[in-house]
Structure 1
Amino acid sequence: MNILKMTTGVALVSLFAAAALAHGGATGIVKERMDGMSAMKDSMKVLTPMMQGKTPYNAQTVRSEAKKIGLHAGESMTKLFPEGTDGKPSEAKPEIWQDWGSFAELARQLETYSEGLVLAADNGLMASGSGKDSGMMGNATMMGAGSMTGADMMGGGPDQAQLSEMPADGVFMMLSQTCSACHTRFRSE
């Protein structure tokens, strides 16, 4: 569970820091994408303490917040990054357009994991033992196929059926790792 807390913490610090400085002077499509990132940040603020066992787990809230994240992921995200929209006040690095395939893949993964979290919401948390079959896939699933160690970037991540059987906190960890990986590679601090 310490890895989940660390990964989630890094992702949230990045999100919060970005939100504090982000919108100054943004207009048009840059403001639109910043607003989308803020919406995802707000959902992460609701989900993180729940996944850490700091607030009561509520499957309906998990589904609702995961759907909100999904609305801003995948093609909904990539269409907000037309070439030439870097530079201040945007925090987008030029690497987005230099390595569009990797950026688009991370956006797709975010969509996949948000949809997977919707499906896994009723499974509860592995760490608390509250989920259905909470020990079912063990730590190998949380750290294996879905981790940002390379399997997902190569298209080897879990599919929707596999995600639907995982504990919600395992899917959430993959979602937050995807956020963190994208921010590390493609967002200026």
Structure 2
Amino acid sequence: MRRVPVIAAVIVVAGLAARSALPETAVSPVVAERQASMKAMASAAKTISGIFDGKMAYDAVAFKEAAETIRRRSGSAMVDAFPAGSFGAPSAAKAEIEQSREEFAALALHLESLATALSDAADEAPNGITEAMRMKPGMAMGSSLLGKRAGGAAEADPSKMPAEHLFHLMLQDCTNCHAKFREKRQ
């Protein structure tokens, strides 16, 4: 049962990235580059999900590359991909990013910290997903921005979390960011 949230989140992230694609001639280079970055992150998330779900054979290089793709494209690189004036049609990025720049940047940096820890976990698992990388029963997933749960503190040090938990938290950051800062499109 714990596999359902991962699959649903990856589908949401991948679907949002795919729907954002407009003909390249209709978007500015900044928006086109941003959309390509989001598609690369969605593809990386799909790879990691497939590995954790056992739908793809474990490949340490692919796992590491996927985590690194997300790490490189999050943090300040993600913030820089959303300059003032690049919001609204044909992009689905809301102008609210500018009004809530600190929150947007905090999400991007949090995603980067989780992806960094996931990439480090890949270095420690050259032969396959280890039991230490798996989420344990009862691990709270959190649901609000920056890994904070209602009435609770921020998540513990990412470097001490199981890789699968890191991945779930990364997907939550993506979902939370899209929910607040991305226009819903049909």
User: TM-score, normalized by length of structure 1?
Assistant: 0.80
The match for 2:66 is 65
Matched, 1:156 2:157: no
Q: Structure 2: where are the runs of 5+ without partners?
A: none
The match for 1:184 is 179
Shift of 1:134: 5.9
Letter in 2 for 1:44: A
The match for 1:12 is 11
CA distance in 2: counterparts of 1:184 and 1:11, whole angstroms:
14
C-alpha contact 2:44 2:66 (8 A) present in aligned 1:
yes
- Note closer, same or farther for the CA distance 1:27–1:8 as it changes in structure 2 (3 Å cut): same
Per-residue CA deviation, residues 72-122 of structure 1 (Å, 9 max, x unaligned), is 100000011112211211110122112112111110111011111112224
When the two structures are aligned, how many residues end up with a matched partner?
177
The match for 2:40 is 39
The match for 1:97 is 98
User: TM-score, normalized by length of structure 2?
Assistant: 0.81
CA distance in 1: counterparts of 2:176 and 2:110, whole angstroms:
11
Q: 2:164 aligns with which of 161, 165, 169?
A: 169
Q: Percent identity?
A: 28
- Note closer, same or farther for the CA distance 1:187–1:11 as it changes in structure 2 (3 Å cut): farther
Letter in 2 for 1:110: L
The match for 1:28 is 29
Shift of 1:57: 2.4
C-alpha contact 1:93 1:187 (8 A) present in aligned 2:
yes
The match for 2:54 is 53
CA distance in 2: counterparts of 1:44 and 1:151, whole angstroms:
18
Shift of 1:123: 5.2
Q: Structure 1: where are the runs of 5+ without partners?
A: 125-129
CA distance in 2: counterparts of 1:110 and 1:176, whole angstroms:
9
- Note closer, same or farther for the CA distance 1:151–1:10 as it changes in structure 2 (3 Å cut): closer
C-alpha contact 1:67 1:118 (8 A) present in aligned 2:
yes
CA distance in 2: counterparts of 1:100 and 1:75, whole angstroms:
12
- Note closer, same or farther for the CA distance 1:123–1:6 as it changes in structure 2 (3 Å cut): same
> Partner of 1:84: helix, strand, or coil?
coil
